[in-house]
Amino acid sequence: MMKTTWRGIIAEYAPFFGSPDPEEAVTLQEGGTPLIPLETLVREIPVPVRLWAKFEGANPTGSFKDRGMTLAVSRAVKKGARALICASTGNTSASAAAYGARAGLRVFVVIPDGKISRGKLAQAIVHHATVIQVEGLFDHALRIVREVAETHPVALVNSVNPDRLEGQRSVAFEIVDQLGSAPDYHFLPVGNAGNITASWAGYKAYRQAGRLSELPKMTGVQAEGAAPIVLGHVVEKPETLASAIRIGNPASWQGALNAAAESGGSILSVSDSEILEAYHLLASKEGVFCEPASAASLAGVLKRARAGAFSGGERIVCTLTGHGLKDPDTVFRSSPPEIRVPARKEEVLAVLGFS
């Protein structure tokens, strides 16, 4: 007998998506990602709380974007689309390229020149998307693709497309199913602010369906150099090593504010060195390799914890939005140099400290 496997979010949560029929979905069996207890890192927090990582790097293209892309591409195909377009800091383009390839569509991705990580660029290329690098920021690229999609026959698959956000709600469904209830706090990185908006909508939809009673406090984390929501104004020149969230004027700004306000949560910012600390802690103490932007969520938890925000007993989930392999350059830039020795046993033993 065939073992039952995870079928992707449209089939697994069909009652929450009016269309398409699961049989018509363009899917790579996205979702069903692990909720990993962080039992070592939790000791960094001075009071006894419980801490999990929702590891979205385990999605088919290595980020949470696949949850929204399966729905957006499935519906675009139903409507007869022949081509997709998006602006991206890398993950949306990787996901659009993969789902577009699967559906037999042309895919155009517009990205900030030299500003996306190598792994993500490789993904867009290998899936045969047409990659257009613009000399500007993500914010410029998004403006261009919005205008193009308004007047030309290409389906826009950025998170300004409501299908994307509808699909991304599924992360909240899964967390509740995995924990048996919502956590007290849900921390996640914020760039264009679609994911915090969608996750919050997911919890609310699950509550409305009677699957949960208490809602979590949604806590969004921006990088200090790209923190328009925290600052309350557009950032003209966003700068952070977390390239995925290097965004100065988020499309779902209001959605993020609403999620934080309605849930009793907040939006905070963390520095690049706090992001790197969390990134290396996750990899070296928990065996979890996420990309720098993703580690902003844990950096936010640690920052809040050190400021005494938790009293003990809280259950905290952080979304780790993308896989670390997308951005190997950050590893080399932020780690000690590799060890090289002549090919002799004595040399290796000396490194081991056995000489």
**Positions that interact with ligand F0G (CB under 6 A):** 63, 65, 88-92, 159, 189-195, 244-245, 291, 293-294, 321-322
- Closest CB 92 distance from ligand F0G, rounded Å: 4
- Which residue, 214, 200, 223, 221, is CA-closest to 315? 214
**Minimum gap (Å) between residue 321 Cβ and ligand F0G:** 3
- Residue number, 27 or 123, with CB nearest to ligand F0G: 123
CB of 252 to ligand F0G, least distance (A): 7
Q: Could you give the CA distance from residue 59 to residue 67 in angstroms, rounded to a whole number?
A: 8
Token readout for 85 is 């377009």
**Burial class for 131, CB neighbours closer than 10 Å (0-12, 13-18, 19+):** middle
Which residue's CB is nearer to ligand F0G, number 74 or number 158? 158
Shortest CB 270 distance to ligand F0G, Å: 13
49 versus 267: smaller Cβ distance to ligand F0G: 267
27 or 91: whose CB is closer to ligand F0G? 91
Minimum CB distance to ligand F0G, residue 187 (Å): 12
Distance of closest approach, residue 152 Cβ to ligand F0G, in angstroms: 20
Q: Considering the complex, what minimum distance in angstroms separates the CB of residue 221 from ligand F0G? A: 9
If 0-12 CB within 10 Å is exposed, 13-18 middle and 19+ buried, where does residue 204 land?
middle
Judged by beta carbon, residue 27 or residue 92, the one nearer ligand F0G is 92
* End-to-end CA gap in the chain: 56
Exposed e or buried b per residue across 67-100, where buried means at least 16 C-beta atoms within 10 angstroms of its C-beta:
bbbbbbbbbbbeeebebbbbbbbbbbbbbbbbbb
Nearer to ligand F0G, 49 or 260 (CB): 260
Which is closer to ligand F0G, CB of 60 or CB of 322?
322
Cβ-in-10-Å burial (0-12, 13-18, 19+) of 168 comes to buried
When the beta carbons of 310 and 330 are compared against ligand F0G, the nearer one is 330
> Cβ of residue 157: shortest distance to ligand F0G, in angstroms?
10
Q: What does the alpha-carbon distance between residue 286 and residue 40 come to, in Å, rounded to a whole number?
A: 7
Alpha carbon distance 205, 203 (integer Å): 5
State which residue, 215 or 267, has the beta carbon closest to ligand F0G: 267
Cα 17 → chain centroid:
21
Q: How many Å apart are CA 296 and CA 269, to the nearest integer?
A: 9
Kindly state the tokens that stand for 69: 């892309």
Tell the smallest beta-carbon distance from residue 302 to ligand F0G (Å).
17
CB 133 within 8 A of CB 109: no
DSSP state of 169: T
CB atoms within 10 A of CB 21: 12
